[in-house]
Amino acid sequence: MATDERPRGVRRGVWLFAMTCAALLALVFGLLRAQGANGPATPVLSEIRIPGDPTDERSATFMFTDSETVTFECSLDGSPVSTCGYGVFGSRSYPGPLSLGPHRFEVRAATGSQVSSAASHEWTVVASPPAGGGGDGGTGDADSGTSSGGGAQSGGVAEFDISGSVGGLGPGITKTIVLTLANPNADPIYVTEVRVGISVDSSPPGCETGPNIVLEQPTGITSASPVLVPANDSVMLQAYPQAPRITFRNRSWNQDVCKRKSFSLAYNGSAHS
């Protein structure tokens, strides 16, 4: 009898364990389906340099953010979407010249096969007033040009590259993110703004930036104090406030989960020739 009862007891234990596992798996899969159904959040468009409406600026630059790490997808005037950033911060510039008339910019966030609804901005490009025309319209266009990256300066919007990295962070340590501004153009450019974004979570995941990281934007680069980058050359920014700073906070709890983690940095800026 003892020999017969033991296998039955074992079989019952295995059956109960299998049923418990199946229930847990069903719950996990249900949560995953519920999360996936929501999809990524709609990106938020920044007001920095967004085109005025109307404006005589023939170029446009957009900056946008999301609450989590996503792939940004942009489209102008109904054109096919193209990738315009990855992480929590992205940007897209259209040097133009854009045609006169109405325009519409859209940006979506994608994670895997899920795509958010679009954030959009509509504006109209109008002809520049005659030289010396003055008037309220001219004042408005000048303000719009300054905020959109130097349109009121002596030259047009210029493309340039930003790169940089930093290492050796630990609790209570602040470091400068050394940046390199590279000018691929045949003429000198004046960089008037640099911005840095950081991913919400680390790679591999497990160390969120919110409670652990402080990112200070560079404030020493403005339209009044631009950085000159010679033609086909580069300039290195090594000190704050021209370069950004990053601090790893020293918190009261154990932060060992952040050891050997890395974060994605995204750079954006504006310049004119």
Q: What is the CATH number of the domain that holds 251?
A: 2.60.40
Alpha-carbon distance of 201 to 190, in angstroms, equals 33
What values do phi and psi take at 43, rounded to 5? -60, 160
Query: Would you state the pLDDT for residue 47?
Result: 82
Domain stop point among 94, 128, 149: 149
Alpha-carbon distance of 87 to 265, in angstroms, equals 8
The tokens describing 36, both together, are 């996936």
138 occurs within a structural domain: yes
pLDDT tens series, the chain, 273 aa: 444 554 554 445 444 444 444 444 333 334 333 334 578 999 999 887 789 888 888 899 999 999 889 999 999 999 999 999 999 888 999 987 888 889 999 999 999 889 999 999 999 988 876 544 333 332 222 122 222 222 333 457 888 889 887 888 889 999 999 999 999 988 899 999 998 888 888 888 888 888 888 888 898 898 888 999 998 899 899 899 999 999 999 988 899 999 888 888 888 888 988
Query: Would you state the pLDDT for residue 76?
Result: 94
Same-domain pairing of 240 and 206: yes
Query: Would you state the pLDDT for residue 56?
Result: 87
Domain tally, the chain: 2
Task: Count CB-CB contacts under 10 A for residue 66.
Answer: 25
Task: Count CB-CB contacts under 10 A for residue 120.
Answer: 13
Query: Would you state the pLDDT for residue 158?
Result: 83
Task: Please name the amino acid found at residue 41.
Answer: A
How does pLDDT run across 78-133, given as a tens digit for each residue? 999 999 999 988 899 998 788 888 999 999 999 988 999 999 999 998 887 654 43
Query: Is the distance from CB of 226 to CB of 186 less than 8 angstroms?
Result: no
Same-domain pairing of 141 and 162: no
Query: Would you state the pLDDT for residue 13?
Result: 47
Domain that holds residue 145: 39-149
Query: Would you state the pLDDT for residue 228?
Result: 92
Alpha-carbon distance of 44 to 241, in angstroms, equals 26
Same-domain pairing of 219 and 269: yes
Domain stop point among 127, 149, 171: 149
What values do phi and psi take at 243, rounded to 5? -105, 155
Same-domain pairing of 145 and 162: no
Domain stop point among 149, 182, 199: 149
Query: Would you state the pLDDT for residue 200?
Result: 84
Alpha-carbon distance of 263 to 87, in angstroms, equals 10
Alpha-carbon distance of 143 to 196, in angstroms, equals 24
Rg of the chain over CA atoms, in angstroms? 26
Query: Would you state the pLDDT for residue 119?
Result: 95
Name the burial class of residue 175, with classes exposed (0-12), middle (13-18) and buried (19+) by CB atoms within 10 angstroms of its CB: middle
82 occurs within a structural domain: yes
Look at the alpha carbons of 95, 179, 207, 213 in this order and tell me if their dihedral is positive or negative. Answer: negative
Same-domain pairing of 173 and 251: yes
